[in-house]
Amino acid sequence: MEAFNKILKNEEEQKVLLYTSKNKVSQPSNLQPKILAHGLKGCSVIIVSYKTGDILLDCLKSVLQQEAVKQVILVDNGNTRLLMQEVNILADDEPRLEIITGQGNVGFASGCNLGARRARHHYILLLNPDSKMDKGVISEALDVFTSHPDASVLTVRIENPDGTEQRGARRNLMTPWTCVVEQFRLDRLAPNHPHFERLNLNETKSLQQISPVQCISGAFMLMPSSVYSGLGGMDEKYFLHVEDVDFCMRVEKAGGTILYDPNVKVMHQKSSSDVFPGFIEWHKAKSFCTYFDKHFRNQYPKWILNIFATAIYVRFGLRLVPTTIFWLFNKIGSSD
């Protein structure tokens, strides 16, 4: 781990490409013995939940039917009392289910780190609370680490309720340039040019076999606990959103490998939290600015990053009014 820790220590000093790159740095060999020495089975699942709704119960039940899951840690950032009563009833009959509560809404990144400190098993899975999976899914996912012992992090095919591949589940690393390409669909000008690849890859050709990807979603993020702790966990400067992208960037800088298994599937309902969308959009905007400043301050002039920050907050302002009106109409309609 010494070489790996050295890489992490100097992480901020390393150059980041202006464009996404297919060229990978070799995985530090020090990671492999640590992973193999832990054994191949045994997983702690960390679920951070805030005003999630009844689907949280479905999520917990689907996770608890997984034989490979030895511990389920629910970080309660602020669910309703009625929902938590039902969760506590479930926990009374299921010793693997542990609940961390009382800390208030500390955000997703801090919640993940709280859960990781409680985790006792060789692998940890960060799972969104509005996800559901069939029996055996986590065992199949863990098997990938047997056939690919150099893998640092793994995700699976994350699907919408209608079975389509979810946007953001596999993507290229986010840079200012890839965001411009995605926003204005510049990939249509040069579809096969490596500098004009889209950020989100769900509309590209589906992968048929286990493949490396640059960036995945925090909705399903499986890894050896040594990788999570070696990277310092989630960066708690992010309250909500982009912390998963930041984590993937740090995996890339450390020479790690992220794998995507298209043959294992998880359903993610998305946007199930009963939270004012303006709150979510505000923190998303802040997180984007934090990410660009953290990773690209040495690659882009300050004035360019300022333009990006201004555009991000203008976008937030333009979306706020229609989003708020739509949310209020839904609230009024649901109360009738």
Examine the pLDDT at 26 and tell me if it is beyond 50: no
Q: Amino acid identity of 25?
A: V
| Residue pLDDT, tens place only, 253-296 | 999 999 999 999 999 998 667 788 888 899 999 999 999 999 99
Same domain as 324, residue 230: no
In the numeric block, which tokens belong to residue 194? 């490596």
**Section 319-328 average pLDDT:** 83
R_g of the chain computed on alpha carbons: 20
- Domain end marker among 231, 250, 268: 268
CA distances (Å), origin 115, targets 83, 133, 167 = 20, 21, 26
Taking 60 as the threshold, does the pLDDT of residue 23 lie above it? no
- Residue pair 77/49 in contact (Cβ under 8 Å)? The answer is yes
Judge if 208 and 108 occupy the same domain.
Answer: yes
Q: Which of 46, 36, 8, 17 shows the shortest CA–CA distance to 214?
A: 17
% of the chain residues with pLDDT over 90: 71
Same domain, 287 and 192: no
The DSSP element (H or E) to which 126 belongs, if any, is strand 123-127
Name the more confident of 280 and 141. Answer: 141
Same domain, 157 and 302: no
Residues 262 and 289 placed together within one structural domain of the fold? no
Of 28-37, 116-125, 164-173, the range with the lowest mean pLDDT is 28-37
Q: What is the pLDDT of residue 326?
A: 80
How far apart are the C-alpha atoms of 57 and 127, rounded to whole Å? 13
For the ranges 90-104, 184-198, 277-291, 300-314, the lowest mean pLDDT is seen at: 184-198
Whether 103 has a pLDDT exceeding 80, the answer reads yes
- Residue ending a domain, choose from 268, 285, 318: 268
Angle at 221 between CA 215 and CA 222, to 5 degrees: 125
**Do 81 and 8 belong together in one domain?**
yes
Please check whether residues 28 and 143 belong to one and the same domain.
yes
Q: Are residues 316 and 205 in the same domain?
A: no
Kindly state whether residues 245 and 306 are assigned to the same domain. no
Residue 56 token pair: 């949280």
> Given a cut of 50, is residue 325 above it in pLDDT?
yes
Strands 69-78 and 131-132: unpaired
What residue numbers bound the domain in which 321 lies? 277-335
Q: Averaged over 138-159, what is the pLDDT?
A: 96
Is 105 found in the same domain as 229?
Answer: yes
What is the rounded CA–CA span in Å between residue 233 and residue 116? 8
Write out pLDDT tens, residues 7-18. 344 444 444 444
On the question of pLDDT at 21 being above 60, the answer is no
Does residue 163 share a domain with residue 58? yes
Same domain, 264 and 303: no
Confidence class for position 331, pLDDT limits 50, 70, 90: confident
What is the reported pLDDT for 220? 98
Predicted pLDDT at 321 = 85
Q: Which helix (H) or strand (E) holds 47?
A: strand 43-50
Q: Which of 238, 268, 298 is the last residue of a domain?
A: 268
Number of domains in the chain: 2
Q: What is the per-residue pLDDT across 27-57, written as a single tens digit (0 to 9) for each?
A: 443 444 354 443 456 999 999 999 999 999 9
Domain of 138: which CATH number?
A: 3.90.550.10
